[in-house]
């Protein structure tokens, strides 16, 4: 069989990065090799995100650049996969009529067949959502390194009113525990040291009587896996047993991404997040008591419909109160098909921008202060490889998922090194191996 080459560009979240590895895994047995160069590819795919308008605009612009490859050689196929394919299937064809393939997140299995079809002029479209599809039998072709991303559940049942995910990724479903643990054992044998469990609401994981806490407990028993991390948990799905489990297992990183979105109850209610500010703050208290030193990060949306100055100030004050290690912050972007879309945009783009800049600056200061507290401490770093800015330095993460850099001491990727922190920035701890 001739090998054909596939080039995939990934947009959006970790789930999409993992899905790209899955797509490569699906195509490999059919004679496709991945390539890093679009100019060498027979199949060019953009694996896309629909979470904000900006993400979609970037993809359309990129498609208009990549279309030239179709003129380079006959038979080159250009396609869009992922959330935007699912969200905007018709509009996509209007805006990019030259597309050959449009494939939603539950239709990847059809890709080899679609590619094997006789040439047709009509674009091949597969966007059926499938509430049972978990791709449990497909082995992703993973990036080399010490960290493996493992999708444990797909979809979301929460329907927060701003969010397009439940519409483009469909209902919640989990990969059964047994094949999942089998996969992780194999990863350990291949030399991976860290697994990162992925799911839109990862801690809603369930296989019969087994829940997410069970998954963590079983994973911790696998020799060779040194660290276990996961993203993104939903605050409402954090059980007491999950907290106990995290506290009890040294392999589970003392780090949690806990999206709050807003700290005004009025806004949270309209977002239909399922918790109040008080409940969320109580959860943070319980986590910090059970897991001393746990690092916390969050997501914030600025300018949700109806968010007034008081609501915004409540969120700002909450950042001061919780003192997250870091935060991802976004301007609200109305998504067609969601409940909030019907409420329009009540906050001007300018005002959203001002609110966003204000909380970004605030969080930057807080992150800097939080990191300063590490000065003089010794942290355990799982080495990943050379530091980005200085090739003779090494870089890795500590348990709290902070990037730590230090002058190279000959340590190999995948080994644990104790580093004494000398200085810090808002994003990095800098030290020397001890």
Contact flag: residue 261 with ligand 5AD (CB under 6 A): yes
Q: Pick the closer one to ligand SF4 by CB: 234 or 257.
A: 234
- Work out whether the CA dihedral 174, 16, 129, 77 comes out positive or negative: negative
Paired sense of beta strands 428-433 and 403-407, if any: parallel
- Work out whether the CA dihedral 370, 371, 376, 379 comes out positive or negative: positive
Pick from ligand SF4, ligand 5AD, none: which does 156 bind, CB < 5 to 8 A by kind?
Answer: ligand SF4
Q: Give the H/E segment covering residue 92.
A: helix 89-95
Q: Pick the closer one to ligand SF4 by CB: 109 or 339.
A: 339
**What's the CA gap between 406 and 432, in Å, rounded?**
5
Q: Pick the closer one to ligand SF4 by CB: 17 or 290.
A: 17
Pick from ligand 5AD, ligand SF4, none: which does 272 bind, CB < 5 to 8 A by kind?
Answer: none
CA distances from 190 to 11, 148, 185, 253, 312 (A): 27, 10, 9, 21, 48
- Number of H helices and number of E strands within the chain? 14, 21
Q: Pick the closer one to ligand SF4 by CB: 76 or 260.
A: 260
Rg over CA atoms, the chain: 22
Q: Pick the closer one to ligand 5AD by CB: 46 or 156.
A: 156
Query: 51: which residues sit within 8 A by CB, 6+ positions away?
Result: 12, 13, 83, 163, 164, 165, 333, 335
CB of 318 to ligand 5AD, least distance (A): 14
Among residues 202, 301, 322, 366, which is the contact residue for ligand 5AD, using CB under 6 A? 301
Contact flag: residue 262 with ligand 5AD (CB under 6 A): no
Contact flag: residue 332 with ligand 5AD (CB under 6 A): yes
Site string for ligand 5AD, 44-83 (x = CB under 6 A): -------xx-------------------------------
Are 402 and 410 in contact, with CB atoms under 8 Å apart?
Answer: no
Note the residues at the interface with ligand SF4 (CB under 6 A): 156, 158-160, 163, 165-166, 200-201, 234
Pick from ligand 5AD, ligand SF4, none: which does 96 bind, CB < 5 to 8 A by kind?
Answer: none
Q: Which stretch binds ligand 5AD (CB under 6 A): 89-97, 140-148, 284-292, 326-334?
A: 326-334
Pick the closest to residue 255 from 293, 223, 222 (CA basis).
293
Q: Pick the closer one to ligand 5AD by CB: 87 or 193.
A: 87
Pick the closest to residue 6 from 14, 324, 30 (CA basis).
30
Q: Pick the closer one to ligand 5AD by CB: 330 or 393.
A: 330
Contact flag: residue 299 with ligand 5AD (CB under 6 A): yes
Q: Pick the closer one to ligand 5AD by CB: 332 or 374.
A: 332
Residue listed under structure tokens 């990727």: 413
Residue 192 phi/psi, 5-degree rounding, is -70, 140
Pick from ligand 5AD, ligand SF4, none: which does 332 bind, CB < 5 to 8 A by kind?
Answer: ligand 5AD
The residue length of the chain stands at: 434
Chain residues that interact with ligand 5AD, rule: CB under 6 A? 51-52, 162-163, 259, 261, 299, 301, 330, 332-333, 335
């Amino acid at each position: 069989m001739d090998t054909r080459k596939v080039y995939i560009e990934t947009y959006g979240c970790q789930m999409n990065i993992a899905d790209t590895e899955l797509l490569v895994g699906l195509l490999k047995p059919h004679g496709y090799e991945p390539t890093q160069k679009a100019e060498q590819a027979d199949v060019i795919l953009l694996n896309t995100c629909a979470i904000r308008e900006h993400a979609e605009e970037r993809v359309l612009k990129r498609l208009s650049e990549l279309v030239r490859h179709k003129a380079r050689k006959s038979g080159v196929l250009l396609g869009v996969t992922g959330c935007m394919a699912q969200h905007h299937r018709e509009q996509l064809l209007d805006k990019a009529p030259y597309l050959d393939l449009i494939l939603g997140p539950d239709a990847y299995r059809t890709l080899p067949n679609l590619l094997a079809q006789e040439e047709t002029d009509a674009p091949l479209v597969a966007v059926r959502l499938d509430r049972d599809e978990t791709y449990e039998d497909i082995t992703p072709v993973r990036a080399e390194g010490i960290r493996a991303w493992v999708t444990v559940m797909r979809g979301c049942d929460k329907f927060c009113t701003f969010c397009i995910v439940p519409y483009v990724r469909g209902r919640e479903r989990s990969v059964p525990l047994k094949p999942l643990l089998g996969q992780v054992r194999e990863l350990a044998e291949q030399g991976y040291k860290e697994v990162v469990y992925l799911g839109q609401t990862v801690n809603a994981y369930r296989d019969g009587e087994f829940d997410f806490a069970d998954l963590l407990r079983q994973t911790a028993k696998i020799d060779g896996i040194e660290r276990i991390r996961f993203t993104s948990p939903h605050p409402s799905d954090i059980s007491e047993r999950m907290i106990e489990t995290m506290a009890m297992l040294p392999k589970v990183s003392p780090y949690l991404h806990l999206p709050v979105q807003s700290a005004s109850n009025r806004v949270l209610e309209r977002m239909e997040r399922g918790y109040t500010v008080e409940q969320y703050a109580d959860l943070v208290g319980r986590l910090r008591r059970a897991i001393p030193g746990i690092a916390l990060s969050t997501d914030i949306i600025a300018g949700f419909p109806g968010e007034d100055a008081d609501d915004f100030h409540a969120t700002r004050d909450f950042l001061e109160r919780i003192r997250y290690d870091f935060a991802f912050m976004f301007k609200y972007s109305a998504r067609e098909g969601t409940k909030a879309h019907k409420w329009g945009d009540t906050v001007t783009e300018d005002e959203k921008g001002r609110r966003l800049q204000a909380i970004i600056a605030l969080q930057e200061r807080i992150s800097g202060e939080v990191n300063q507290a590490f000065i003089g401490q010794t942290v355990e770093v799982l080495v990943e490889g050379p530091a980005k800015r200085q090739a003779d330095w090494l870089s890795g993460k500590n348990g709290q998922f902070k990037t730590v850099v230090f002058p190279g001491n000959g340590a190999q990727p995948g080994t644990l090194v104790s580093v004494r922190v000398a200085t810090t920035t808002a994003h990095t701890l800098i030290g020397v191996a001890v």
